[in-house]
Chain A
Amino acid sequence: MAMTSLVHHVRSKMFILAHRRARGMLDGEYGSVFKGRSLDFDDLRAYVPGDEVRDIDWKASARHGSPLIRRYIAVRQHHVLLVADTGRNMAAESLSGELKKDIAVMALGVIGSLALGHGDPVGLVHGHAGGTAALPAASGDAALERLLRTVDAVGAGSAASAPEEQLEYVARTYRRRMLLFVVADESVPTERTERLLRRLRAQHEILWLTILDADLTELVQRGRRRPDIQPRPLRDIERHTAVIGPVAASARVLAAYELARTERDAARSAMLRRAGITEGRVGSADGVVSAIFALLERHRRGG
């Protein structure tokens, strides 16, 4: 495996999924995450959609014939802190059937690449019930690769997931303002999470990407619709208990599950909104680029 294989993989995928213009826009969106910039003018560059309109140099644009953007020298670098769950929950299947950690690697890789492109160092806080650890913020593809591999190493043998522990760790450890990019699965919001997030939001910019879990009832129903395909039994990665297909497929159970999921989603969205955190959702690795784009866009608009 090449030294930077995961980074390479993420970049190739970005290349395929977003054409040049869209990549530029993604860059612009990323650049707009941070509010407040220095006034030390650096140079001009062509406008790409997503740039702040107030950054357009109208005089220069008029002379040049197309919109130009003023670029400023950043007074300080922005630190990007990726927060990822590396418990075994992430080794389970996502909505698309891919492993959730693969989607997480893709998302972290995209944000990491964008940050490195802007010269921002990237760090990682990861962990599980067994403990939380941090990789210090660093620049360069090798550092990003190391970080992605840490997340990629999650397997069914990893310790149980404890996503709150990582947030707790971040709140406890970091003093400087950063961009937090949190990748989590469909967690159930608790009082404690909300308090933590409010506290973190006061200090950091926070982007929250929810990786959608496998739809259990959909898997069960697909098995029933296609009796020619032997349905593989569903087994919980945490407790190793099985889901009994015929039981889950009964109409009342399906309805109850659907209702519970809708309520859970609404509760999580409401909690994040109250905390002032922008949430994006993604169900597959191929959806990561557009999900992040939408997430950045919404963050810029909303923030």
Chain B
Amino acid sequence: MELMLWWIIPCGLGGGALFIWRVLRNESRVSGSRSVAHTDRLTSLPEYRSALRRHLRLLVAMVGASVVVVLGALTAGARPVTAEVVIPEQHSRDIMLCLDTSASMSSADAAVVDVFGELVTRFDGERIGLMMFDSSAAQVFPLTDDYVLVREELTRAKGIFDGSLDEQGFFAGTGIAPGSSLIGDGLASCTQGFPGPDDGTRSRSVVLATDNFVSGEPLFTLAEAASLARDKGATVYALNPGDFDYGDAPDQPGATLRDAAESTGGAYYSVDSTESVAGIVRSVQETEVAAMTGAPQRIVTDQAAWPLAIALLAVLVLLGIAWRVER
């Protein structure tokens, strides 16, 4: 408990003291009074004395109540607050699932979609979108927080990826361009799924599942696509279920994917089995949440209720006494 405007109390007390001093000074001036003789004939009556004692008691109570009112009001005016430091969890995240639909990726895609299908039940304010690409990219659903739709779509996508559901046309639009697995184009398309330039109000991340085996002539190289993602303010987390690099050469597909992801501030995960995809996606999700927690914030809550309640009580007492004095 602390006082935000503590200086109000000394100011108020000083003002009160000044007021009392002026009242007393006016009182001590006898100019306004009428001089009469033999007041003792009135003031020494036992009836007068007992009425005076009662009057004095009421006055003392009134002064006391007034002091309580003033102190209560001053205390409330000084804004007593409790401050606590909280780390707010941000729910303003946009997550774009960007899945390579080449045949080698289907089990990994199913795992990614499955994990997000579970995670979306705990989402609150986050938006999620799903895009697939092979030689060209197609949007399954755009960034949305309509979680009913999202869950439906993810369940459907999982069914199709793991083969339990056969739906012609689900992959429509992913093979329009010549070639296959044009990763750069796919990532570039996915980054365009974020609306407008990054205005800093929502964090953006792309979960890119691909083995980075390019066959064909992409319009964007992976590095160019990564820079597009940077421009959009998106972080790319790359998931590679088939890291088959030979040696440490930087032009190996795994290495370029790692470079691209890390150049956006993201991370690269090579996955040995599709079972581990779930764990990785969860850990990505968790690091993402941790990274997105805002700066520690000092939450200040006004605690004016008590002083105000006491002041109100004192006002009621004051009114009661004033009524009795008037009688």
- Enumerate chain A interface residues (CB-CB to B < 8 A): 89, 91-93, 100, 156, 161, 185-186, 213-214, 216-217, 219, 232-244, 246-248, 250, 252-253, 255-257, 260-261, 264
Which residues on B sit within 8 Å (CB–CB) of A161? 37
Nearest B residue to A185, CB-CB: B37
Bound form: Cα–Cα A242–B36 in Å: 10
Given contacts A233-B32, A235-B33, A247-B52, contact A260 B45 (CB under 8 A): yes
Which residues on A sit within 8 Å (CB–CB) of B45? 253, 256-257, 260
Which residues on B sit within 8 Å (CB–CB) of A239? 39-40
Across the interface, do B35 and A92 meet the contact criterion of CB distance under 8 Å?
yes
Which residues on A sit within 8 Å (CB–CB) of B36? 92-93, 213-214, 216, 219, 234-237, 243
Which residues on A sit within 8 Å (CB–CB) of B42? 216-217, 243, 248, 253, 257
- Is B51 in contact with chain A by the CB < 8 A criterion? yes
Q: How large is the interface on B (under 10, 10 to 19, 20 to 34, 35 or more residues)?
A: 20 to 34
A interface secondary structure, majority = mixed
- Is B325 in contact with chain A by the CB < 8 A criterion? yes
Bound form: Cα–Cα A217–B35 in Å: 14
Across the interface, do B37 and A89 meet the contact criterion of CB distance under 8 Å?
yes
> Which 5 interchain pairs have the tightest Cβ spacing?
A92-B37, A236-B39, A235-B33, A256-B47, A237-B35
Which residues on A sit within 8 Å (CB–CB) of B30? 235, 240
Shortest CB-to-CB span from B205 to chain A, Å, is: 77
Contact of A241 among B39, B41, B46, B51 (CB under 8 A): B39
- For A214, A219, A253, the residue with the greatest tally of chain B CB atoms inside 10 Å of its CB is A253
Which residues on B sit within 8 Å (CB–CB) of A234? 33-34, 36, 39
In the assembled complex, 19 residue pairs joining A and B whose CB atoms fall closer than 8 Å, in A order, are A89-B37, A93-B34, A156-B35, A213-B36, A213-B38, A214-B37, A216-B42, A217-B42, A232-B34, A233-B32, A233-B34, A235-B35, A235-B39, A236-B37, A236-B43, A238-B37, A242-B33, A257-B45, A260-B41
Contact of B37 among A237, A244, A246, A252 (CB under 8 A): A237
Shortest CB-to-CB span from A80 to chain B, Å, is: 27
Across the interface, do B33 and A244 meet the contact criterion of CB distance under 8 Å?
no
Which residues on B sit within 8 Å (CB–CB) of A213? 36-38
- Is B244 in contact with chain A by the CB < 8 A criterion? no
Contact of A261 among B34, B41, B48 (CB under 8 A): B41
Given contacts A243-B43, A244-B52, contact A186 B38 (CB under 8 A): yes
Within 8 A of A (CB), among B213-228: none
Nearest A residue to B39, CB-CB: A236
Shortest CB-to-CB span from B170 to chain A, Å, is: 91
- Is B298 in contact with chain A by the CB < 8 A criterion? no
Which residues on B sit within 8 Å (CB–CB) of A242? 33
Within 8 A of A (CB), among B1-57: 30, 32-43, 45-48, 51-52, 55
Which residues on B sit within 8 Å (CB–CB) of A243? 36, 39, 42-43
Shortest CB-to-CB span from A101 to chain B, Å, is: 11
Across the interface, do A253 and B48 meet the contact criterion of CB distance under 8 Å?
yes
Bound form: Cα–Cα A247–B47 in Å: 9
Which residues on A sit within 8 Å (CB–CB) of B52? 244, 247
Bound form: Cα–Cα A250–B33 in Å: 21
Given contacts A234-B33, A235-B30, A260-B45, contact A246 B38 (CB under 8 A): no
Bound form: Cα–Cα A84–B297 in Å: 88
Shortest CB-to-CB span from B167 to chain A, Å, is: 92
Bound form: Cα–Cα A92–B41 in Å: 15
Which residues on B sit within 8 Å (CB–CB) of A214? 34, 36-37
Which residues on B sit within 8 Å (CB–CB) of A219? 34, 36
Across the interface, do A248 and B48 meet the contact criterion of CB distance under 8 Å?
yes
Bound form: Cα–Cα A252–B325 in Å: 15
Which residues on B sit within 8 Å (CB–CB) of A248? 42, 48, 51
Bound form: Cα–Cα A233–B325 in Å: 17
Bound form: Cα–Cα A89–B35 in Å: 9
Which residues on B sit within 8 Å (CB–CB) of A93? 34-37
Nearest A residue to B58, CB-CB: A246
Across the interface, do B39 and A244 meet the contact criterion of CB distance under 8 Å?
no
Shortest CB-to-CB span from A248 to chain B, Å, is: 6
Nearest A residue to B36, CB-CB: A214
Nearest A residue to B55, CB-CB: A247
Across the interface, do A233 and B48 meet the contact criterion of CB distance under 8 Å?
no
Contact of B40 among A92, A100, A236 (CB under 8 A): A236
Which residues on A sit within 8 Å (CB–CB) of B33? 232-235, 242
Given contacts A213-B36, A241-B43, 7 further A-B contacts (CB under 8 A): A185-B37, A213-B38, A214-B36, A235-B36, A237-B37, A238-B38, A253-B51
Bound form: Cα–Cα A91–B35 in Å: 8
Across the interface, do B37 and A100 meet the contact criterion of CB distance under 8 Å?
yes
Nearest A residue to B45, CB-CB: A256
Which residues on B sit within 8 Å (CB–CB) of A238? 37-38
- For A91, A93, A243, the residue with the greatest tally of chain B CB atoms inside 10 Å of its CB is A243
Shortest CB-to-CB span from A235 to chain B, Å, is: 4
Across the interface, do B41 and A257 meet the contact criterion of CB distance under 8 Å?
yes
Bound form: Cα–Cα A214–B40 in Å: 13
